[in-house]
């Protein structure tokens, strides 16, 4: 076995690999960029080597620097994680040339699967079923369009070098083809440096079911069963589970055999995943093979009891597979939810910021958290928005799902918008519980999954925010009093205003998507002598509140109803975490220079920090409502802004290639007179 390995990655996967390696007594070298100087993976590793500037192309993607780091530290092998260099055949060649073991498949296997088109050709020959489509070399746009016509709309355009749902567009009709092709190609060039496209029949209600395979260098291969990854947004997985609901032994065996056939057709070694689309009638089609460890591998670990990174290390060290097919078994059911820094209620836009407050659920044999971040870390525009994974296991799907919902409620993040509450709604949605899954799940169940309230607020939550503010004021005044020379002055007591002739205190809160601040009027409740009991008025609602604050935990009683919630307070920007909800508001303290919420998304401002990809109209052009005007890219994802109404594009403030900050006005638009 190796004594020392280098992990050519960052975030949760780097941390996860280090954990297993340490358990096996292997020393670990981390690599890092400017953005990751203080990152968790650097702290966990035994040594760390600096690679370069924050953009991955200056650090994590520079083959020479990674190889040099391994040489310099005497690492015998490199684990590539996923993404970055994990499926880069030039990198594998560079490892081979330097005499360093690449923990993954041989160059030939990566090359064979590196292109989705070439992979389809190989699988066709090996007799693995394929989705009907065109995967030829000729890339003439007219020819691609004609092929699309032949296949029949809707079709799916895919970058042959693609991954992570990028460089992919569904095209519903011929009229949309040209723009979709141009946009997919641009994303592909930016993401993968190659804009070759394939065209496929777009299946309308498929499930994404993938098989985990493992092969050793002695020619042995096994499959570690399947994962269902149907729940996706932007063609990217959100929640994965194993085993796939409704899977029969015979279908599992057929798919497992097809997956091993695929692996053997390319002389595979190591961990790989063969992805299939599974149709309602149980027919399945090869989509692609990922020649690396997948993000969702933990669900397989949970149901098999195997550590796949350990398997990878053993196989890379030349050892045989730890188990034979007949020794592998499925136990119970597991889910993985991907915690993304993104805003589900705004089209899953990636979010950035500081993780000023971060609490994760307690880990035990049912709950596992694979995280790459610590409280205080910055989520930047440079890397993937996935910051952690929550994995749960139990003996049945139902029990596991209920654990998932519970654990998600305990996942508390403030400072950066994340999808944790969305995931919880998903875990609790009846159709998900009934396993009525397909890749259109999120689209179809919008009403159930998204926050439709649009600016309304609950008086109860505001009462809780008011209670928090009151207790905090109380605490501050007490501290002031102990510090001052006259601790008994009546002016220190929070009851000070009680003695006033007008015994009402007004608290003000600014709410997102709410133009004016909301006033909460507070009166001390006299009779009981309980100093922490108040009557609060929110609009026409009157609520009796009392409570206690212990750090971030607020034990509250609202109209006799006890509840324990948590509050993150970042300079009076409050986030309340209840069992079901996450509620944010800004407490506008009168003595502070309170800046109120700005309307976050004026229509033609940059929705995120990023860069301008292209302008789709000329300055001075008249456009119609919905016409695309400008494309912004951040975190390798494109976002198109369209004309809010008919009108005139008076001026663009940025050109292609310019960097823009979130909120920056991008262009001057004059709406046409009615």
In terms of Cα–Cα distance, which of 670, 38, 6 is closest to 354? 38
CA distance 582 to 359: 13
Applying CB under 6 A, the span of 154-162, 191-199, 240-248, 340-348 interacting with ligand ADP comes to 154-162
Residue closer to ligand ADP by CB (options 114, 547) is 114
Applying CB under 6 A, the span of 199-207, 341-349, 396-404, 647-655 interacting with ligand ADP comes to 199-207
Minimum CB–partner distance for residue 57 and ligand ADP (Å): 20
3-class secondary-structure state, position 659? strand
Residues binding ligand ADP: number (CB under 6 A) = 22
Cβ 5 vs Cβ 103: under 8 Å: yes
Minimum CB–partner distance for residue 348 and ligand ADP (Å): 15
CA distance 252 to 303: 15
CA distance 343 to 418: 6
**Residue of 26, 157, 161, 287 interacting with ligand ADP (CB under 6 A):** 287
Minimum CB–partner distance for residue 1 and ligand ADP (Å): 32
**Residue of 4, 22, 234, 235 interacting with ligand ADP (CB under 6 A):** 235
CA distance 420 to 412: 8
Minimum CB–partner distance for residue 388 and ligand ADP (Å): 20
DSSP 134-153: E--S---HHHHHHHHHHH-S
Minimum CB–partner distance for residue 192 and ligand ADP (Å): 10
**Residue of 80, 83, 106, 162 interacting with ligand ADP (CB under 6 A):** 162
Q: Are strands 77-79 and 4-7 parallel, antiparallel or unpaired?
A: parallel
Residue closer to ligand ADP by CB (options 150, 668) is 150
Applying CB under 6 A, the span of 157-165, 334-342, 516-524, 526-534 interacting with ligand ADP comes to 157-165
Structure token digits, residue 242: 């194993």
Q: Half-sphere exposure of 20 toward its Cβ, with a 13 Å CA cutoff?
A: 22
**Residue of 9, 86, 89, 439 interacting with ligand ADP (CB under 6 A):** 439
Please tell me whether residue 288 binds ligand ADP under the rule CB under 6 A.
yes
**Residue-wise burial string across 30-40, b where 16 or more C-beta atoms lie within 10 A, e elsewhere:** bbbbebbeebb
Structure token digits, residue 155: 């079709």
Minimum CB–partner distance for residue 285 and ligand ADP (Å): 8
The catalytic position among 252, 292, 368, 421 is: 292
Please, where are the H alpha helices in 289-364?
297-304, 308-316
Q: Packing angle between helix 308-316 and helix 11-23, nearest 10 degrees?
A: 70
Minimum CB–partner distance for residue 132 and ligand ADP (Å): 9
Cβ 270 vs Cβ 105: under 8 Å: yes
Residue closer to ligand ADP by CB (options 170, 253) is 170
How many CB atoms within 10 Å of residue 673? 6
State the binding string over 495-534 for ligand ADP (x if CB under 6 A, else -): ----------------------------------------
Applying CB under 6 A, the span of 144-152, 197-205, 482-490, 543-551 interacting with ligand ADP comes to 197-205
Residue closer to ligand ADP by CB (options 541, 639) is 639
Residue 273 vs residues 102, 210, 284, 288, 646: alpha-carbon distances, Å:
18, 6, 15, 8, 48
Please tell me whether residue 275 binds ligand ADP under the rule CB under 6 A.
yes
Applying CB under 6 A, the span of 135-143, 155-163, 487-495, 603-611 interacting with ligand ADP comes to 155-163
CA distance 243 to 246: 9
**Residue of 208, 338, 403, 424 interacting with ligand ADP (CB under 6 A):** 208
Cβ 24 vs Cβ 310: under 8 Å: yes
Please tell me whether residue 194 binds ligand ADP under the rule CB under 6 A.
no
Residue closer to ligand ADP by CB (options 181, 612) is 181
State the binding string over 163-182 for ligand ADP (x if CB under 6 A, else -): xxxx-x--------------
Question: Does 207 qualify as catalytic in the annotation?
Answer: no
Minimum CB–partner distance for residue 159 and ligand ADP (Å): 8
**Residue of 115, 232, 460, 586 interacting with ligand ADP (CB under 6 A):** 232
Residue closer to ligand ADP by CB (options 1, 118) is 118
CA distance 218 to 414: 49
Please tell me whether residue 272 binds ligand ADP under the rule CB under 6 A.
no
* Residue/partner pairs of 497-503 with CB below 8 Å, 24 or more apart: 498/524
Look at the alpha carbons of 348, 350, 356, 358 in this order and tell me if their dihedral is positive or negative. positive
In terms of Cα–Cα distance, which of 571, 563, 650, 657 is closest to 610? 657
Please tell me whether residue 114 binds ligand ADP under the rule CB under 6 A.
no
Please tell me whether residue 316 binds ligand ADP under the rule CB under 6 A.
no
CA distance 538 to 507: 10
Residue closer to ligand ADP by CB (options 225, 393) is 225
Q: Packing angle between helix 89-98 and helix 107-114, nearest 10 degrees?
A: 170
Sequence-ordered list of residues with C-beta below 8 angstroms from that of 487, at least 6 positions apart, any chain: 481
**Residue of 202, 223, 268, 276 interacting with ligand ADP (CB under 6 A):** 202
**Residue of 206, 298, 517, 610 interacting with ligand ADP (CB under 6 A):** 206
CA distance 174 to 190: 25
Please tell me whether residue 200 binds ligand ADP under the rule CB under 6 A.
yes
Residue 202 vs residues 138, 330, 373: alpha-carbon distances, Å:
21, 32, 37
State the binding string over 10-29 for ligand ADP (x if CB under 6 A, else -): --------------------
Residues belonging to the active site = 292
Sites of contact with ligand ADP (CB under 6 A): 131, 156, 158, 162-166, 168, 200-203, 206, 208, 232, 235, 275, 277, 287-288, 439
């Amino acid at each position: 076995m190796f004594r020392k390995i280098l992990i050519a990655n960052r975030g949760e996967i780097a941390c996860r690999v280090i954990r297993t390696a340490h358990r096996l007594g292997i020393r670990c070298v981390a690599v890092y960029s400017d953005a990751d100087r203080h990152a968790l993976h650097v702290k966990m590793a035994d040594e760390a080597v600096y690679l370069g500037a924050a953009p991955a192309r200056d650090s994590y993607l520079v083959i020479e620097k990674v190889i040099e780091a391994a040489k310099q530290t005497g690492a015998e092998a490199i684990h590539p994680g996923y993404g970055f260099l994990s499926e880069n055949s030039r990198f594998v060649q560079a490892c081979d040339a330097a005499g360093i073991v690449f923990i993954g498949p041989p160059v030939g296997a990566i090359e064979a699967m590196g292109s989705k088109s070439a992979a389809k050709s190989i699988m066709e020959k090996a007799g693995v079923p394929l989705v009907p489509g065109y995967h030829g070399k000729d890339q003439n746009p007219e020819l691609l369009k004609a092929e699309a016509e032949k296949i029949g709309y809707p079709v799916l355009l895919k970058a042959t070098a693609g991954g992570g749902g990028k460089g992919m567009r569904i095209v519903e009709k011929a009229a949309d083809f040209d723009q979709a092709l141009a946009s997919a190609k641009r994303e592909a060039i930016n993401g993968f440096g190659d804009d070759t496209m394939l065209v496929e029949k777009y299946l309308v209600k498929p499930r994404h079911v993938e098989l985990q395979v493992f092969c050793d260098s002695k020619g042995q291969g096994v499959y570690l069963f399947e994962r269902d990854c149907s729940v996706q947004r932007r063609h990217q997985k959100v929640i994965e589970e194993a085993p796939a609901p409704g899977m029969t032994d015979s279908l599992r065996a057929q798919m497992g055999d097809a997956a091993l056939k695929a692996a053997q057709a390319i002389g595979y070694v190591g961990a790989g995943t063969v992805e299939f689309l599974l149709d309602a009638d149980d027919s399945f089609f090869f989509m692609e093979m990922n020649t690396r460890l997948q993000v969702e591998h933990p669900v397989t670990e949970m149901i098999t009891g195997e550590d796949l990174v350990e398997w990878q290390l053993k196989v890379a060290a030349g050892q045989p597979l730890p188990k034979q097919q007949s020794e592998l078994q499925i136990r119970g059911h597991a889910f993985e939810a991907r915690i993304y820094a993104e805003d589900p209620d705004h089209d899953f836009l990636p979010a950035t910021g500081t993780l000023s407050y971060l609490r994760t659920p307690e880990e035990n044999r049912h709950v596992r958290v694979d995280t790459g971040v610590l409280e205080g870390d910055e989520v930047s525009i440079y890397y993937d928005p996935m910051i952690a994974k929550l994995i749960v296991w139990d003996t049945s799907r139902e029990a596991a799902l209920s654990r998932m919902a519970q654990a998600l409620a305990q996942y508390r993040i403030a400072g950066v918008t994340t999808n944790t509450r969305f995931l919880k709604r998903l875990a609790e949605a009846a159709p998900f519980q009934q396993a009525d899954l397909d890749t259109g799940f999120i689209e179809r169940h919008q009403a159930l999954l998204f926050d439709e309230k649009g600016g309304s607020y609950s008086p109860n939550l505001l009462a809780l925010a008011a209670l928090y503010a009151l207790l905090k004021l109380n605490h501050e005044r007490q501290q002031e009093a102990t510090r001052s020379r006259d601790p008994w002055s009546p002016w220190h007591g929070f009851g000070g205003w009680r003695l006033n002739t007008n015994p009402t205190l007004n608290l003000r809160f600014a709410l997102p998507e709410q133009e004016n601040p909301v006033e909460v009027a507070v009166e001390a409740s006299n009779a009981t002598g309980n100093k922490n009991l108040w009557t609060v008025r929110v609009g026409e609602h009157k609520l009796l509140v009392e409570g206690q604050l212990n750090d971030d935990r607020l034990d509250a009683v609202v109209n006799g109803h006890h509840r324990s919630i948590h509050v993150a307070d970042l300079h009076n920007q409050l986030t309340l975490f209840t069992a079901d909800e996450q509620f944010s508001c800004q407490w506008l303290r009168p003595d502070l220079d309170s800046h109120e919420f700005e309307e976050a998304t004026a229509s033609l401002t940059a929705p995120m920090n990023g860069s301008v990809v292209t302008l789709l109209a000329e300055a001075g052009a008249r456009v119609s409502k919905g016409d695309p005007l400008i494309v912004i890219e951040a975190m390798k994802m494109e976002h198109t802004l369209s004309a809010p109404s008919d009108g005139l594009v008076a001026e663009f403030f940025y050109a292609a290639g310019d960097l823009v900050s979130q909120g920056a006005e991008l262009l001057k638009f004059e709406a046409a007179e009615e």
